[in-house]
Structure 1
Amino acid sequence: MLAQQRRQAILERVRASGGARVADLVRELGVSDMTIRRDLEVLAERGLVAKVHGGATVAGPGSTEEPGFAAKSARQQPEKEAIARRAARLVRPGTAVALSAGTTTWTLAHFLTDVPDLTVITNSIGIAEVFHRSPRADRTVVLTGGVRTPSDALVGPVAVAAVRGLHVDTLFLGVHGMSVRAGFTTPNLLEAETDRELVASAHRLVVPADHTKWGTVGISTIAGLAEAHVVVSDSGLPEEAREELAARVGELIITDPHQRNETANR
């Protein structure tokens, strides 16, 4: 087996299983320990795997990696539904809300279709479509223009211009990641600019984000943690993250996707 073929086999093994041990690769491929370690070094230098003690794992996402909407919508579905259900309770009839693009905010939109006398601002075609499929005479939906990103956001100067000057009661902000150092982030620079304009338009900022977003950092910061009035997450959020968020945001609400209850920290 040629070196390139062997490295491709190693990469497929790591991607299929999420990781591989050097000892197992030595046995499966019939080569020396040193050869496997050299192959892993080459794959790691190319950013295809992440070397760990005794083997390798799938390479972590970079700060500019932006998964598509379909890929993200399949992740953490029970958590997103529990978060969206709880976040919907923060919306009162007769108010104006903004929903930025994202799979959690898209899930939230389904829970808002029965709220009367609602004005919705969004930069997501998918979210606008949710409301279009459940029409109400007392609802107004404003869809910004802009350039479409892989995550289904309309961004850029046209989107920014559409949002600027608007005032909404609550913004539900979809985020790629959140951390103490970087705050709420996105891997798309133009999306960050549009989202920052949405934040500026809102009287209240609510961030619905499942536990996997903690510690993930995109290339551009949308807002600091302290700017969020409410963060709605799920019971998978680590205790350390809960303490950090509770100390910085106005209110942290934790939902349980299995029991339909939540706790709040102010």
Structure 2
Amino acid sequence: MLAPQRQQAILQLVRQYGGVRVIELVRAFGVSDITIRRDLDSLAGRGLVAKVRGGATLVRSTGAGSTDEPGFAVKSVRQEREKRAIARRAAALVQPGSTVGLSAGTTTWALAHHLAAVPGLTVVTNSVRVADVFRRPSDDRTVVLVGGVRTPSDALVGPVAVAAIRRLNLDVLFLGVHGMTVRAGFTTPNMMEAETDRALVEAAERLVVPADHTKWGTVGISTIASLSEADILVSDSALPPSAREALTGHVGRLVIAS
């Protein structure tokens, strides 16, 4: 396949899924990492894609509103390093034998990979992607995937999900969020997902929010919970001092993952 043909195929994948990862393109096209990165450089230079760490996404329009909801593929290639650090730190908060809730999101998905090694867990999630992390059978682990309507971020939401969650009790919930501010709290661009996430919050004894620094100042249309409802917020070292000060005054404890 010639470079122009491969680049056109890559562009079609970006448009179809909202984003692509270099490692996946290397496998798909059977070429080197360097070749794929050159292809992405060429596409980005023509304004057709936006390069991010580890891949590329659709070019984001300016002034995205509070209902703008990127797909999982788009979000998975944003702030990868920060999400990995947050996931490692958040995983240390989980005790073996716990009942753990994981809402949908790329940070909770990263966290799930660390929790796969924790013995005796019962995992409750409304995320298809998170459930897939635990697909390998384990004698000492139970995974509960609630039903519902699937969103662009691969969350299962709606009345079926809410009804199932309200019958459960969780030791801790790790809540993925789209944005957070003092006024709006933790928010999402999907109103049905907000309702499902609120049910998860109500079912949990303790709420932990793993959120990278880009979530600060972003507001989705629907509030899931106020900042004060979070027992712990785990973010990364790029979180600005003003945000740290504001969050420290509202959440139970702010943890910075290095």
Q: By the TM > 0.5 criterion, same fold?
A: yes
CA distance in 2, matches of 1:17, 1:99: 31
Give how far 1:255 is off. Answer: 1.2
For the 8 Å contact 1:97–1:118, the answer to whether it is kept is: yes
CA distance in 2, matches of 1:147, 1:140: 22
Q: So what's the TM-score if we normalise by structure 2?
A: 0.77
1:84 is aligned to 87
1:247 is aligned to 249
TM-superposition CA deviations, 1:25-49 (whole Å, max 9, x none): xxxxxxxxxxxxxxxxxxxxxxxxx
2:5 is aligned to none
SS of the aligned residue for 1:184 comes to strand
2:157 is aligned to 155
1:69 is aligned to 72
CA distance in 2, matches of 1:181, 1:203: 24
Counterpart of 2:145 (choices 143, 146, 150) is 143
Counterpart of 1:114 (choices 102, 105, 117) is 117
Q: Which runs of 5+ in 1 are unaligned?
A: 1-11, 19-56, 257-266
Counterpart of 1:238 (choices 234, 237, 240) is 240
CA distance in 1, matches of 2:138, 2:246: 41
Q: Which amino acid aligns with 1:191?
A: E
Give how far 1:16 is off. Answer: 6.3
2:184 is aligned to 182
For the 8 Å contact 1:14–1:58, the answer to whether it is kept is: no
Q: Which amino acid aligns with 1:249?
A: V
CA distance in 2, matches of 1:65, 1:250: 29
Q: Which amino acid aligns with 2:206?
A: R
Measured on the aligned residues, the alpha-carbon RMSD in Å equals: 1.9
TM-superposition CA deviations, 1:75-111 (whole Å, max 9, x none): 0000000000000000000110000000000000000
SS of the aligned residue for 2:135 comes to helix
SS of the aligned residue for 2:134 comes to helix
Structure 2 residue 206 is the aligned partner of structure 1 residue 204:
yes
CA distance in 2, matches of 1:177, 1:127: 20
Q: Which amino acid aligns with 1:194?
A: T
Using the aligned pairs only, state the percent identity. 69
Q: Which amino acid aligns with 1:94?
A: G
SS of the aligned residue for 1:206 comes to strand
Point out 4+ residue stretches in structure 1 off by more than 3 angstroms.
12-18
2:230 is aligned to 228
Give how far 1:60 is off. Answer: 2.8
TM-superposition CA deviations, 1:190-249 (whole Å, max 9, x none): 000000000000000000000000000000000000000000000110100000001111
Q: For residues 14 and 248 of structure 1, do their structure 2 counterparts lie closer, same or farther at Cα, with a shift above 3 Å needed?
A: farther
Q: Which amino acid aligns with 1:224?
A: S
TM-superposition CA deviations, 1:102-139 (whole Å, max 9, x none): 00000000000111110000001111110113x32100
CA distance in 2, matches of 1:145, 1:58: 33
CA distance in 1, matches of 2:153, 2:168: 23
Q: Which runs of 5+ in 2 are unaligned?
A: 1-43, 51-59
Q: So what's the TM-score if we normalise by structure 1?
A: 0.75
State the structure with more CA Rg: 1
Give how far 1:165 is off. Answer: 2.1
Q: For residues 92 and 62 of structure 1, do their structure 2 counterparts lie closer, same or farther at Cα, with a shift above 3 Å needed?
A: same
